[in-house]
């Protein structure tokens, strides 16, 4: 490809960082897929991606600079404009909002100036969508670039701690047990180890029952694993509840090479279960991926983890390295003749990359724009090849199916929602965290399990399933938490977000934040979502300020029309559900008008 | 002889983009039901093609016969029975037994809303086809409120992905911004850009393989840009003008046309269109010369011409100024 470059050159530091990265790449083969990792390298080393640095990495990867710029400019954690080296991303999303996010933002502004300003000092701060640390709200992520780069997730965050971290004084990590109120309790299956064992030790994992399922799997053979997972009636835990066996069967039918992707890009506001699993039991995910790769005949696996999860990424990298040392990942796994390796890819701040085809584009070095379906990833997926893509929690259920047997697994929960389930409980509850329960537990029981309501103790609404889910009211507390049970009341289990709001919460502000979220996170590709999310936000502003065009009824009808076109005509699930929670709130809850 | 014609000369660059292929008689056909009529259509055809065979006029904005369908504008959506959502006719292939409705209330609603969302945020004044669609679907973009203020030069180019200033909702946000004029051949008026991706495709693998422009930004901040928004003369642009050729809204425009419009002298009713063969090289691309009062005002190329499929180079597209100079001398 005959590429054209501007005259901008990298600094010596940028050049050294890029050359170092390029020298570690495998020889030959298409290099475009290394674009996002290369952009991460520059961002980490310089704190932003300069024109000279972009030119240099584009020369090395053979990517046109206009396209690379379009990719860099897609991600919120990358900056194509010069900025201070230390940046605090402060969550002001719905989970942190009732937990003091706004006063934290005010304190940041008092010290560092307005959000996003780059006043020339060594550090700056920005507002951020949900950081996936809702159980430790309010949350912040501090990223420091340079020779000694660091990334630190902080929660609960105070301005003093965040400012300290910006200056290089990182607070101690509280330990994952703090996010797992049930840690160590008897009877846990998915959370049997997390919070109880050293997540960096392969020995500890093995002593706690790790790799039993893998050894069993290698003996059983691919066909038998596939049939167990199918008869266990395991369905996807990422939000869409698609039967895992059906997905696997579709890929098994297709010719090799095939790929396995673990979707660890959970970014749905209120969702943090996969992060806690990866931080607390990272070996379990590696073991699960090897089993899934074996069962589906995949030759390589990828974990795509959201960029806001530095600790989970470190833990996974460590787990993968230890497994390779022990011959449990890589060539000829445990002497079985089966070879399979996993590569970890980090996102860079884009909710849309949790959409499976956007995720594949992101890995391939393109903008995280969802692809048109059909063809589905099972036929045309990563690098155009048949691809299995499963969520973290889905995969971690696979060893469980093998050790307990499909029949026993399917006897947990209900007929249509089988197995144990993780729930992300945050907001106004006494003990927020990740909880494991059998499908079928009611919403009321789940809130009680989390210590009951906090705040005023008087429930106003519960957000079920995340920002793409639905609000339910105090009358809906007896809904069984199953896919079919939530559907029956017009809600969804989604990513198992349970976020109660007490009567002190001002819901119109929560709805506006949700609208703002979808506007910010729309990839911008299709018209209904790109412009619809803007019109939805504008309209909610008018409703809240009571400065309506026509009557309130006209506005509510127009909002429904915007929701309808996004649901009917958008390309992907983001647009399809961008109005769900908002419309559910308007339909079910008595919303106050903003005080004038 | 015919064998020789089939063997591609390795020295001749083979276009990577899709070349439209006419359905041949030997293709298998599948039966689908479209607006109540059961019809046989060639296997591999799109719903758009199937509809056209039945004389159904499906609106399109981001679709063009000589480019890969990107199905982003969603104006062509149709209802497929059994599908939770509407499907894009431009890229969805026919499958036996499909039951399609191309003009149901649901379809008309989505098309109307797509037009309203676009027309409330983009200047569609130089997109005549758009106006036709607006009346066909009774679109009222003003439902979203009066138009919001334009952005300052460079403001949209420097927006951070994932962040925006909270609106008060009193006006409808727009992409309005000053025209980018940085060369003598064409202008970029992104106030008129509906983000159909056509120019990016034409600049990339579908025609030119130059990659001077790409989509940057995200969400409502998504935009067509060079790297770091450098000017076209600093970019990889080779001024083939194929991006202008595919632009459906006049966002990309010959500078000659832009200047005449600004001066109020652009008059399409007084223009003639004459097809000729480009005089510059031996490829033999067809040029459509647009002349007003005996002066050439722009050059296009027909899509259905199989030498270049509507694409040209800088010489064919822009190398006619000297003709007008001769006329001026007369």
CATH at B46: 3.10.20.740
Cα A570 to Cα B248: distance, rounded to the nearest angstrom: 21
| Packing angle of the helix pair A65-72, A35-46 (nearest 10 deg) | 70
Contact between B232 and B257 (Cβ < 8 Å): no
What pTM was computed for the model? Answer: 0.95
pLDDT (0 to 100) of residue A567 = 98
Which of B91, B215, B236 is the closest to A372 by Cβ? Answer: B91
Asked if A570's CB is within 8 angstroms of B74's CB, the reply is yes
Q: B232 with B282, same domain?
A: no
Residue B21 pLDDT more than 70? no
Mean pLDDT for the stretch of residues B138-151: 97
The A residues from 79 to 118 touching B (CB cutoff 8 Å) are: 79-81, 116
SS (H, E, C) A382-442: HHHCCEEEEEHHHHHHHHHHHHHCHHHHHCCECCCCECEEEEEECCCECCCEEEEEECCCE
Does a structural domain hold residue B291? yes
A325 touching B (Cβ < 8 Å): no
Asked if A531's CB is within 8 angstroms of B169's CB, the reply is no
The closest alpha carbon to B303, from B262, B247, B248, B246, belongs to: B246
Q: For strands A300-305 and A259-264, give the pairing.
A: parallel
Candidates B202, B218, B234, B248: best to mutate against A (most CBs of A within 10 A) is B218
pLDDT (0 to 100) of residue B8 = 41
User: Chain B residue closest to A573 (CA)?
Assistant: B85
Please provide residue B27's backbone torsions phi and psi, each rounded to the nearest 5 degrees. -70, 140
Does a structural domain hold residue B157? no
The closest alpha carbon to A93, from A305, A238, A311, A268, belongs to: A268
Does a structural domain hold residue B159? no
The helix/strand count (H/E) of chain B reads as: 9, 12
pLDDT (0 to 100) of residue A596 = 43
Q: B96 with B72, same domain?
A: yes
pLDDT (0 to 100) of residue B13 = 47
Mean pLDDT for the stretch of residues A517-530: 98
Candidates B215, B226, B232, B243: best to mutate against A (most CBs of A within 10 A) is B215
Structure tokens at B175: 């992409």
Q: Going edge to edge, which strands form the sheet with A387-391?
A: A341-346, A300-305, A259-264, A387-391
Which of B91, B114, B172 is the closest to A569 by Cβ? Answer: B114
Residue A21 pLDDT more than 60? yes
Does a structural domain hold residue B53? yes
Stronger pLDDT, B87 or A240, i.e. the higher one: B87
CATH code of B185's domain: 3.30.70.20
Does a structural domain hold residue B153? no
In this predicted model, what pLDDT tens digit does every residue of A525-556 receive, in sequence order? 999 999 999 999 999 999 988 899 999 999 99
Please provide residue A368's backbone torsions phi and psi, each rounded to the nearest 5 degrees. -75, 60
Cα A424 to Cα A462: distance, rounded to the nearest angstrom: 12
Does a structural domain hold residue B106? yes
Cα A463 to Cα A469: distance, rounded to the nearest angstrom: 7
Torsion angle of C-alpha atoms A508, A511, A513, A517, degrees rounded to 10: -160
Q: Last residue of some domain: B125, B145, B165?
A: B145
Residue B6 pLDDT more than 50? no
Residue B9 pLDDT more than 90? no
Residue B5 pLDDT more than 50? no
Contact between A450 and A432 (Cβ < 8 Å): yes
Mean pLDDT of chain A: 96
DSSP per-residue codes, A181-211: TTTT-TT-STTSSTTTS-TT-HHHHHHTTTT
pLDDT (0 to 100) of residue B11 = 46
Q: For strands A420-425 and B286-292, give the pairing.
A: unpaired
Residue A337 pLDDT more than 50? yes
A17: confidence class by pLDDT, cuts 50, 70, 90: very high
Q: Last residue of some domain: B213, B242, B266?
A: B266
Q: Which residues in chain A touch residue B121, judged by CB atoms under 8 angstroms apart?
A: 531, 534
User: Chain B residue closest to A549 (CA)?
Assistant: B145
Does a structural domain hold residue B317? yes
pLDDT (0 to 100) of residue B16 = 56
Q: Domain range holding B181?
A: 173-266
Residue A191 pLDDT more than 90? yes
Mean pLDDT for the stretch of residues A241-262: 96
Contacts of B245 (CB under 8 A, 6+ apart): B202, B300, B301, B310, B311, B312, B317
Q: Last residue of some domain: B266, B282, B299?
A: B266
pLDDT (0 to 100) of residue B321 = 86
Asked if A519's CB is within 8 angstroms of B164's CB, the reply is yes
Contact between A392 and A262 (Cβ < 8 Å): yes
**Burial B125-154, CB ≥16 within 10 A → b, else e:** ebbeebeebbeebebebebbbebbeebeee
Q: Which residues in chain B touch residue A3, judged by CB atoms under 8 angstroms apart?
A: 211, 236
Q: B124 with B52, same domain?
A: yes
Mean pLDDT of chain B: 91
Contact between A479 and A492 (Cβ < 8 Å): no
Please provide residue A184's backbone torsions phi and psi, each rounded to the nearest 5 degrees. 85, -10
pLDDT (0 to 100) of residue B23 = 54
Asked if A538's CB is within 8 angstroms of B172's CB, the reply is yes
Domains and CATH numbers, chain A: 12-72 (1.10.10), 86-174 (3.40.30.10), 202-410 (3.40.50.11540), 424-502 (3.10.20.600), 507-588 (1.20.1440.230)
pLDDT (0 to 100) of residue A187 = 94
Cα B202 to Cα B205: distance, rounded to the nearest angstrom: 7
Residue A347 pLDDT more than 80? yes
CATH code of B322's domain: 2.20.25.90
B213 touching A (Cβ < 8 Å): yes
Cα A543 to Cα A545: distance, rounded to the nearest angstrom: 6
B17: confidence class by pLDDT, cuts 50, 70, 90: low
B4: confidence class by pLDDT, cuts 50, 70, 90: very low
Q: Which residues in chain A touch residue B212, judged by CB atoms under 8 angstroms apart?
A: 4, 66
Contacts of A384 (CB under 8 A, 6+ apart): none
- Tell me how close the Cα of B160 comes to any Cα of chain A, in angstroms: 7
Does a structural domain hold residue B19? no
Residue B330 pLDDT more than 70? no
- Tell me how close the Cα of B290 comes to any Cα of chain A, in angstroms: 32
Q: B122 with B30, same domain?
A: yes
The closest alpha carbon to A235, from A404, A465, A354, A413, belongs to: A413
pLDDT (0 to 100) of residue B20 = 59
Q: Report the domain count for chain B.
A: 3
Structure tokens at A475: 């009358």
In this predicted model, what pLDDT tens digit does every residue of B153-187 receive, in sequence order? 999 999 999 999 999 999 999 999 999 999 999 99
Other residues' Cβ atoms within 10 Å of the Cβ of residue A46: 22
Asked if B161's CB is within 8 angstroms of A76's CB, the reply is yes
Complex ipTM? 0.96
In chain B the beta strands, taken as DSSP E runs, fall at 29-34, 37-42, 77-80, 87-88, 99-101, 186-188, 214-216, 223-225, 252-254, 271-277, 286-292, 295-300
In this predicted model, what pLDDT tens digit does every residue of B91-135 receive, in sequence order? 999 999 999 999 999 999 999 999 999 999 999 999 989 999 999
A509 touching B (Cβ < 8 Å): no
Asked if B121's CB is within 8 angstroms of A51's CB, the reply is no
Q: Which residues in chain A touch residue B145, judged by CB atoms under 8 angstroms apart?
A: 538, 549
Q: Locate all alpha helices (DSSP H) within chain B, ordered by sequence.
A: 2-6, 47-53, 105-119, 128-136, 198-203, 242-246, 255-263, 314-318, 321-329
pLDDT (0 to 100) of residue B326 = 66
A549 touching B (Cβ < 8 Å): yes
Q: B128 with B196, same domain?
A: no
């Amino acid at each position: 490809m005959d590429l054209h470059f501007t005259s901008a050159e990298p600094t010596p530091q940028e050049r050294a960082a890029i050359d170092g990265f390029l020298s570690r790449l495998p020889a030959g083969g298409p290099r475009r897929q290394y674009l996002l990792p290369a952009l991460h390298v520059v961002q980490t080393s310089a704190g932003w991606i300069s024109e000279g640095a972009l030119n240099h990495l584009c020369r090395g990867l053979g990517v046109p600079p206009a396209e690379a710029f379009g990719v860099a400019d897609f991600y919120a954690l990358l900056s194509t404009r010069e900025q201070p080296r230390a940046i605090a991303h402060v969550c002001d999303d719905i989970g942190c909002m009732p937990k003091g996010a706004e006063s934290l933002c005010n304190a940041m502004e008092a010290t560092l100036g307005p959000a996003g300003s780059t006043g020339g000092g060594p550090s700056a701060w920005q507002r951020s969508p949900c950081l996936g640390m809702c159980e430790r709200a309010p949350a912040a992520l501090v990223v420091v670039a340079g020779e000694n780069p660091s990334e630190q997730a902080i929660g609960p965050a105070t301005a003093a701690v965040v400012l300290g971290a910006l200056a290089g004084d990182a607070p101690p990590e509280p330990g994952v047990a703090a996010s797992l109120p049930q840690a160590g309790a008897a009877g846990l299956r998915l959370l049997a180890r997390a919070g109880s064992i050293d997540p960096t030790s392969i020995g500890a994992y093995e002593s706690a029952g790790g790799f039993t399922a893998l050894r069993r799997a290698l003996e059983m053979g691919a066909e038998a694993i596939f049939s167990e997972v199918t008869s266990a009636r395991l369905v996807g835990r990422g939000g869409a509840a698609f039967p895992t066996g059906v997905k696997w069967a579709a890929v098994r039918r297709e010719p090799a090479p095939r790929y396995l992707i673990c979707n660890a890009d959970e970014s749905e506001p209120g969702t943090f279960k996969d992060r806690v699993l990866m931080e607390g039991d990272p070996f379990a995910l590696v073991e699960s991926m090897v089993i899934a790769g074996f069962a589906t005949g995949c030759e390589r696996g990828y974990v795509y983890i959201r960029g806001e999860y530095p600790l989970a990424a470190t833990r996974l990298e460590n787990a993968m390295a230890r497994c390779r040392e022990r011959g449990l990942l890589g060539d000829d796994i445990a002497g079985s003749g089966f070879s399979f390796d996993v590569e970890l890819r980090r996102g860079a701040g884009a909710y849309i990359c949790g959409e499976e085809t956007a995720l594949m584009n992101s890995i391939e070095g393109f903008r995280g724009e969802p692809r048109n379906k059909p063809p589905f990833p099972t036929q045309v997926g990563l690098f155009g090849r048949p691809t299995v893509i499963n969520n973290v929690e889905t995969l971690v259920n696979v060893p469980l199916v093998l050790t307990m047997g499909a029949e026993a697994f399917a006897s947990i929960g209900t007929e249509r929602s089988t197995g144990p389930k993780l729930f992300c409980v945050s907001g106004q509850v006494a003990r927020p965290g990740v909880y494991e329960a059998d499908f079928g537990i009611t919403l009321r029981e789940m809130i009680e399990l989390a210590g009951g309501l906090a705040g005023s103790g008087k429930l106003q609404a519960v957000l079920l399933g995340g920002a793409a889910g639905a609000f339910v009211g105090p009358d809906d507390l007896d809904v069984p938490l199953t896919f079919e049970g939530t559907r029956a009341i017009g809600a969804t289990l989604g990513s198992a977000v349970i976020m109660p709001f007490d009567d002190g919460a001002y819901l119109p502000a929560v709805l506006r934040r949700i609208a703002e979220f979808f506007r910010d996170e729309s990839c911008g590709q299709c018209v209904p979502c790109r412009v619809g999310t803007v019109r939805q936000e504008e309209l909610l502003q008018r409703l809240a300020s009571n400065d309506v065009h026509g009557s309130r009824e006209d506005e509510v009808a127009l909002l429904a029309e915007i929701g309808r076109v996004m649901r009917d005509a958008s390309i992907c699930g983001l647009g399809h559900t961008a109005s769900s929670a908002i419309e559910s709130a308007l339909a079910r809850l008595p919303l106050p008008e903003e005080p004038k | 002889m015919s064998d020789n014609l089939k063997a591609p000369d390795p020295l001749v660059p083979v276009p990577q983009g899709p070349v439209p292929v006419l359905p041949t008689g030997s293709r298998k056909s599948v039966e689908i039901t479209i607006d109540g009529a059961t019809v046989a259509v060639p296997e591999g055809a799109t719903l758009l093609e199937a509809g056209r065979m039945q004389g159904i006029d499906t609106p399109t904005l981001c679709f063009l016969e000589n480019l890969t369908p990107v199905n982003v504008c969603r104006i062509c959506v149709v209802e497929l029975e059994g599908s939770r959502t509407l499907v894009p006719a431009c890229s969805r292939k026919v499958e036996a037994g499909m039951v399609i409705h191309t003009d149901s209330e649901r379809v008309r609603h989505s098309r109307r809303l797509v037009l309203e969302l676009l027309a409330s945020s983009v200047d569609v004044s130089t997109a005549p086809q758009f106006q036709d669609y607006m009346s066909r679907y009774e679109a009222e973009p003003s439902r979203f409120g009066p138009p919001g203020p334009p952005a300052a030069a460079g403001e949209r180019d420097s927006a951070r992905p994932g962040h925006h200033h909270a609106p008060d909702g009193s006006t409808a946000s727009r992409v309005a911004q000053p025209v980018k004029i940085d060369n003598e051949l064409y202008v970029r008026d992104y106030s008129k850009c509906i983000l159909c991706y056509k120019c990016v495709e034409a600049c990339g693998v579908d025609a030119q393989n130059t990659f001077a422009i790409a989509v940057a930004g995200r969400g409502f901040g998504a935009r067509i840009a060079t790297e770091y928004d450098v000017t076209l003369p600093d970019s990889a642009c080779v001024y083939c003008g194929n991006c202008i050729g595919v632009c459906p809204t006049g966002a990309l425009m010959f500078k000659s046309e832009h200047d005449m419009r600004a001066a109020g002298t652009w008059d399409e009713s007084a223009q003639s269109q004459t097809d000729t063969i480009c005089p510059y090289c031996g490829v033999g691309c067809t040029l459509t010369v647009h002349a007003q009062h005996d002066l050439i005002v722009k050059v296009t190329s027909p899509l259905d011409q199989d030498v270049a499929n509507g694409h040209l180079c800088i010489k064919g597209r822009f190398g006619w100024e000297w003709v007008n100079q001769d006329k001026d001398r007369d």
